[in-house]
Amino acid sequence: MSRVFNFNPGPAALPLPALERAREELLDYRGSGMSIMEHSHRGKDYEAVHNEAISLLREQLSISDDYHVLFLQGGASMQFAMVPMNLLTAGKSADYVLTGAWSEKALSEAKPMAALYSAAVRAAGTTGTGEGKEKSYVRAATEADVKADDAAVYLHLCSNETVHGVQFAVNGEFPHFGKAPVVADMSSDFLWRKIDVSRFGMIYAGAQKNVGPSGVTVVVVRKDLVDAGRKDLPKIFQYRTHVENNSLYNTPSTFGIYIVRNVLLWVKDQGGLAGIEKINREKAWLLYKTIDSHPGFYRCPVDAGSRSVMNVVFRLPSEALEEKFVSESKKAGLVGLKGHRSVGGIRASIYNATGLDAIHALTHFMNEFAKANG
Ligand code: PMP
């Protein structure tokens, strides 16, 4: 078996022990004579897996009883719609902080709901400069960038912009943006370290970066926000429905949640999030150091304090060299380094399961590539 060094942005690398456990249990889950995929989602075997995944997540992030933990479907993209759908009401408004492509998308998806409800959504602050193709984001927002409305029903931000490689609170706490509950899209930096969940009204994340396979969306939501949610929606779109049914209102992504459980067991084995954070910081430090040590060749456009620990973006002197970098790196067993099509360049996504060995292989390749082409 040969496994590549996987820098995919999501779906992304999964921890090998989580996959090996799945392989071992695939055909016969704990002597039941069938795989976990073939079990009823209402049966004891699956329910134990489901509840273990929830309790492991609660344990790793020290999530208090003030919050519900849900496993939904539809990706983070569905949360772009479900958040305003549940929380906006006529005459009210919600704030959005824009720091890259995904927070922009969240705002644009909220607009039709606001229009339908005679409510409002607004950009409370942006770090974007330029327009159209020239639009760029190179830093997260500070308190000075955001004019928050304390009466807003929520303030939305994206903690890590996967496309632009811009992350909030890399070396410290999240900024305080007024009094409204903060709703955070943490799709690409959920579970990379311990965070203070009590700073947030709600956190959501597509699982396919740090937590598991695609098809599962993790939602951590404060009880008062669930209670305040609209009741005039189809049940499937109300958070309370999923809370009341422990995410088993309809058939969940049972195999996806099973893999999430395996990933969380692996996190625990790594010394929990403290252990994971230490390795993640070393990985990012090594990569940015390599970029900065070739100043005429590699260039990271992101401001020092906002450089993502999860998605390291950089440019080479020309697009032709970037293409060559991607194709030669692939031949060297380094996969998934092409930047997002909307911004170009190179992007190394280095989520939890991408180990130090992958980083050493990449930095070695980068040094050699610069020597040969610089
Ligand atoms: N938000 C962020 C920060 C993302 O990185 C992504 C996916 N790359 C999304 C939202 C959309 O997620 P999904 O494809 O699960 O809907």
Residue where a domain terminates, one of 239, 268, 297: 268
Supply the range of the domain harboring residue 284: 272-373
Q: What are phi and psi of 155, to 5 degrees?
A: -120, 125
b/e sequence 268-305, b meaning 16+ C-beta within 10 Å: eebeebeebbebbeebbebbbebbeebeebbebbbeee
Regarding whether 251 and 102 lie in a shared domain, the answer is yes
What does each of the 374 residues of the chain score in pLDDT, given as a tens digit?
A: 789 999 999 999 999 999 999 999 999 999 999 999 999 999 999 999 999 999 999 999 999 999 999 999 999 999 999 999 999 999 999 999 999 999 999 999 999 999 999 999 999 999 999 988 789 999 999 999 999 999 999 999 999 999 999 999 999 999 999 999 999 999 999 999 999 999 999 999 999 999 999 999 999 999 999 999 999 999 999 999 999 999 999 999 999 999 999 999 999 999 999 999 999 999 999 999 999 999 999 999 999 999 999 999 999 999 999 999 999 999 999 999 999 998 999 999 999 999 999 999 999 999 999 999 98
Domain holding 292: CATH number? 3.90.1150.10
Ligand 1 atom with the shortest distance to the CA of 77: 16
Residue 14 lies in a domain: no
Q: Is the pTM of this model over 0.75?
A: yes
Return the pLDDT at 279: 97
CA of 206 to the centre of ligand 1 (A): 6
Q: Which parts of the chain fold into alpha helices (H)?
A: 16-25, 44-61, 75-87, 101-117, 223-228, 239-244, 254-269, 272-292, 319-331, 356-373
Are the beta carbons of 315 and 295 closer than 8 angstroms? no
Instruction: Please check whether residues 327 and 198 belong to one and the same domain.
Output: no
150 catalytic? Reply is no
Is 205 found in the same domain as 278?
no
Tell whether 306 is covered by a domain: yes
The CB of 311 under 6 Å from ligand 1? The reply is no
Which of 95, 189, 209, 283 is catalytic? The answer is: 209
**Nearest CA, atom 14, ligand 1:** 75
How many other C-beta atoms can be found within 10 angstroms of the C-beta atom of residue 150? 10
Answer yes or no: 185 catalytic. Answer: yes
Count of domains forming the chain: 2
Structural domain includes residue 154? yes
Residue 323 in domain = yes
Do 178 and 278 share a domain, yes or no?
Answer: no
Question: 304 with 334, same domain?
Answer: yes
Answer whether 158 contacts ligand 1 (Cβ < 6 A). Answer: yes
Our mutation pick for probing the ligand 1 site, out of 77, 99, 104, 209, counting the most ligand atoms within 8 A of Cβ, is: 77
In a domain, 13, yes or no: no
Q: For ligand 1, is residue 54 a contact (CB within 6 Å)?
A: no
261 and 297 co-located in one domain: no
**What would the two tokens of residue 120 be?**
């409002």
**End position of a domain, from candidates 268, 292, 326:** 268
Domain assignment present for 364: yes
Please say which residue of 268, 293, 310 terminates a domain. 268
Indicate if ligand 1 lies below 6 Å from the C-beta of 10. Answer: yes
